[in-house]
Amino acid sequence: MLRTAVFVLLAMPLAALAQARLADGFAQLPAGASIVLMPADIELFEISAGGVIEPRADWTRVAAAHIERRLRSRSGQWKEFPAGSDPAVDGVFRLHRAVADAIIVHHFGSLKLPTKEGRLDWSLGPDAAPLAARTGADYALFTWVRDTYASEARKATMVVGALVGAALGGGVQSAYMSLVELKTGRVVWFNRIRRLSGDLREGDAAAETLDALLAGFPG
């Protein structure tokens, strides 16, 4: 299922580097507000010569370490997500993913919702309450990243294809960040990037990706 989702992402038109949105009436985090860093959902993939996308656990581990290290260095207001399993909190993760997918489709895709009128008007509702109770935070910051990289064999195939007039795709970086107000469940800020550049396997390049994701962050 995950591999299918990656193919769908690759099939979507590439968008601008960053596309931040703020909810109506929300411009800045209140003074002293605390934000819990949710465990980042990150996966990296390699594209074979024939175009098959395969997960790379080793690259994913490196990328996750780069992103988490960079996030922690950004601000003293972050709270660490407490260890341990909680089915109610797991449900918040799943709900947020569904809402985030809807935001991408209806704000950045072709299926615009007339009732939204372009506004970031989405919420997890009272289902966010278990996360507030578990963390004691005012807000939660979610991070989702999928990145694909052409293998050396794929690069060679792309060169050969170009010589005969066939355009073969390479890697695509697709990611988003979402800030949720835990008291209400409202998504108050959302930023998405989708591009052909970026490399999360290397520290400085991963920092650049995170800076792009945090562009327009209201804090």
**Residue 80 maps to a domain:** yes
**Residue 219 maps to a domain:** no
pLDDT at 4: 37
- CATH number of the domain encompassing residue 145: 3.30.160
Read off the pLDDT of each residue in 89-112 and give the average, rounded to a whole number: 88
Structure-token pair, residue 43: 């996966």
**Residue 101 maps to a domain:** yes
pLDDT at 110: 73
**Residue 116 maps to a domain:** yes
Task: Show the domain range for 115.
Answer: 2-24+33-213
pLDDT at 53: 84
Which one-letter amino acid corresponds to residue 93?
Answer: F
**Residue 122 maps to a domain:** yes
**Residue 218 maps to a domain:** no
Q: What would the pLDDT profile of 136-183 be if each residue is shown by its tens digit?
A: 999 999 999 999 887 666 666 666 566 566 655 567 899 999 999 999
**Residue 199 maps to a domain:** yes
Read off the pLDDT of each residue in 85-109 and give the average, rounded to a whole number: 88
Number of domains in the chain: 1
Among the listed ranges 55-69, 100-114, 136-150, which one has the minimum average pLDDT value?
100-114
**Residue 90 maps to a domain:** yes
Among the listed ranges 49-53, 142-146, 203-207, which one has the minimum average pLDDT value?
49-53
How many Å apart are CA 60 and CA 146, to the nearest integer?
Answer: 9
The dihedral region occupied by 119, where left means phi > 0, alpha psi between -120 and 50, and beta the remainder, is beta
Collapsing DSSP states into helix, strand and coil, what is residue 138? coil
Longest pairwise C-alpha distance within the chain? 60
pLDDT at 76: 62
- Which comes out higher in pLDDT, residue 55 or 5? 55
How many Å apart are CA 101 and CA 104, to the nearest integer?
Answer: 5
Query: What are the residues whose beta carbons fall under 8 Å from the beta carbon of 119, sequence distance 6 or more?
Result: 23, 24
Say if residue 132's pLDDT is above 60.
yes
Q: Is the dihedral of CA 177, 179, 182, 186 positive or negative?
A: negative
Query: What are the residues whose beta carbons fall under 8 Å from the beta carbon of 85, sequence distance 6 or more?
Result: none
